[in-house]
Amino acid sequence: MEVRNSPLVLAIVTWNDGVNRAMELIAAAHIAAEALRARVGVLVTAEVSENLTAGIETSGADLLYRISPSLKNFARSGVTLSVIEHVCKGLDPALVLLAADMVGIEIGSRLAYRLHGAYVSNCMAIEQTQDDRRLCFTRPVYGGRAVEVVTSESLLTVVTVKPKCFVPSPRAARGACAWTTIANEMAETESGIEVVGGSGPPSGAEAKLEDASVIVAGGRGIGNEAGFLQLRELAGLLNGAVGASRAAVDAGWVPKTVQVGQTGKTVAPELYIAVGISGAVQHLTGMVGAKHVIAINTDEEAPIFGVANLGVVGDYREILPALIDALKNTV
Ligand SMILES: Cc1cc2nc3c(=O)[nH]c(=O)nc-3n(C[C@H](O)[C@H](O)[C@H](O)COP(=O)(O)OP(=O)(O)OC[C@H]3O[C@@H](n4cnc5c(N)ncnc54)[C@H](O)[C@@H]3O)c2cc1C
């Protein structure tokens, strides 16, 4: 593994999580690299689509690395962590960027610890300090009610990047865009943890939640699992995805993968339809980036109406069937 004098900012793509997410990560890497006068490297640990490969190759990164054989089982985060640790020890990056997704959140702080570096979670913006070439990282605190700006004095900093905060911009390709393959010699069980159950990555409507342009989200007001069938039907008609509040997830009506909010996903669709969701700050944190919000709620005092462009006061069990019928007649 080649190490040159100028520092390296390394963006790590841990699974085939869609082109957008990877491009956001690389956009953040470019901002940091410009401030540090560093090179941008991209490390891909997962088996990724041709689309994503092409996106990375034309992202303006200086160095491209991939693991072979690639890591297929995202659930074995311990193996992913150990492989990334090994690569980082060879490449000696100044900054490591991971998406603040399930994998990034789980391994980010552990990676920083193993590399004797600092850790910054959920970064929304990167800027340069006025006086020197240190970086300032902006991150939400108090459930998104405030932000703090932190800087790192460590030689190495691991940062998880909050989704939808960095806008990918086209850049001229630099370097030859040739991939350097790094052999993965780690056994799948080397982390000391053997996975004996679980499920694969989410699929279908659930998988595209973060990239959906329309989200129909349900809360405790939906009342039961069956109620979410109506939300799914509406989402299907609008070519969108289903989301949920934590209350609906905790009730077991929908999987955790569709939770929106402070401890769930951050989304920024064109249209967010909040059904039976009161609008607690922890939920709003995850969806304030939505361009348009429609709220359906029986309580006209519900805080969700405070962020809605269009509010409908009423029982969703009456409103959704009428809406679905109207859409069926027009689509
Ligand atoms: C540390 C922490 C992290 C958290 N993280 C998250 C998070 O990531 N995401 C999240 O969502 N929450 C999160 N929460 C929980 C959050 O505080 C709220 O408890 C939760 O968002 C409430 O969910 P809800 O709006 O579905 O339920 P409720 O607040 O109970 O609201 C239900 C709404 O449904 C309406 N309703 C009832 N019946 C109907 C009907 N028939 N038709 C239409 N409307 C109806 C009611 O008027 C009410 O407004 C977190 C909390 C903490 C402390």
Q: Are residues 175 and 261 in the same domain?
A: no
Q: pLDDT band for position 222 (50/70/90)? A: very high
Residue 196 lies inside a defined structural domain of this protein: no
CA of 295 to the centre of ligand 1 (A): 13
Greater model confidence, 171 or 50: 50
247 alpha carbon – ligand 1 mean position (Å)? 5
- Are 145 and 230 in a shared domain? no
Domain extent, residue 312, equals 204-330
Distance 279 CA to ligand 1 centre (A): 6
User: Taking residues 288-308, what's their average pLDDT?
Assistant: 95
Q: Catalogue the E-assigned strands of 38-132.
A: 39-46, 63-71, 95-99, 118-123, 125-128
- Do 219 and 179 fall within a single domain? no
Ligand 1 atom with minimal separation from the 245 CA: 11
**Among 210, 246, 273, 296, which is best to mutate for testing ligand 1, by the most ligand atoms less than 8 A from CB?**
246
Query: Quick one: 35 and 120 in the same domain?
Result: yes
Residue 95 lies in a domain: yes
Whether residue 44 is contained in a domain is answered as yes
Residue 99 CA, ligand 1 centroid: distance in Å: 26
* Cα–ligand 1 centroid distance for 219 (angstroms): 6
CATH at 217 = 3.40.50.1220
Return all residues near 2 (Cβ < 8 A) that are at least 6 apart: 180
Which tens digits make up the pLDDT trace of 262-291?
888 888 899 999 999 999 999 998 998 899
Q: Say whether 37 sits in a helix, a strand or coil.
A: coil
> pTM higher than 0.75, yes or no?
no
Average pLDDT of 92-104? 92
- Among 105, 262, 318, residue to substitute to test ligand 1 (most atoms within 8 Å of Cβ): 262
Which residues, 6+ apart, have CB-to-CB distance to 325 below 8 Å?
A: none
Taking CB atoms and a 6 Å cutoff, what residues make up the pocket around ligand 1?
Answer: 219-221, 245-248, 259-264, 276-278, 280, 282-283, 286, 296-299, 302, 315-317
- Ligand 1 atom at minimum distance from 319 CA: 42
pLDDT in tens, 106-139: 899 999 999 999 999 999 999 988 777 789 999 9
Cα first-last separation, the chain = 55
Neighbours of 135 (CB within 10 A): 22
Peptide bond into 69 cis (omega under 30): yes
Is residue 246 domain-resident? yes
Structure confidence by residue, pLDDT tens digits, 155-208:
999 999 998 889 887 776 665 578 999 988 776 555 566 666 665 554 444 447
CATH number at residue 148: 3.40.50.620
Q: How far apart are alpha carbons 228 and 255 in whole angstroms?
A: 12
Centre of ligand 1 from the C-alpha of residue 299, in Å = 13
Q: Say whether both 48 and 176 belong to one domain.
A: yes
Q: How many domains does the chain have?
A: 2
Whose CA is closest to atom 23 on ligand 1? 247
Query: What residue owns the CA closest to ligand 1's atom 40?
Result: 315
Residue nearest to atom 36 of ligand 1 (CA): 221
Give the per-residue pLDDT at 188. 57
Could you tell me if 123 and 165 lie in one domain? yes
Residue 104 inside a domain? The answer is yes
Region class of 90: left (phi > 0), else alpha (psi between -120 and 50), else beta? alpha
Distance between CA atoms of residues 113 and 148, nearest Å: 22
Final residue belonging to a domain, choices 150, 183, 216: 183
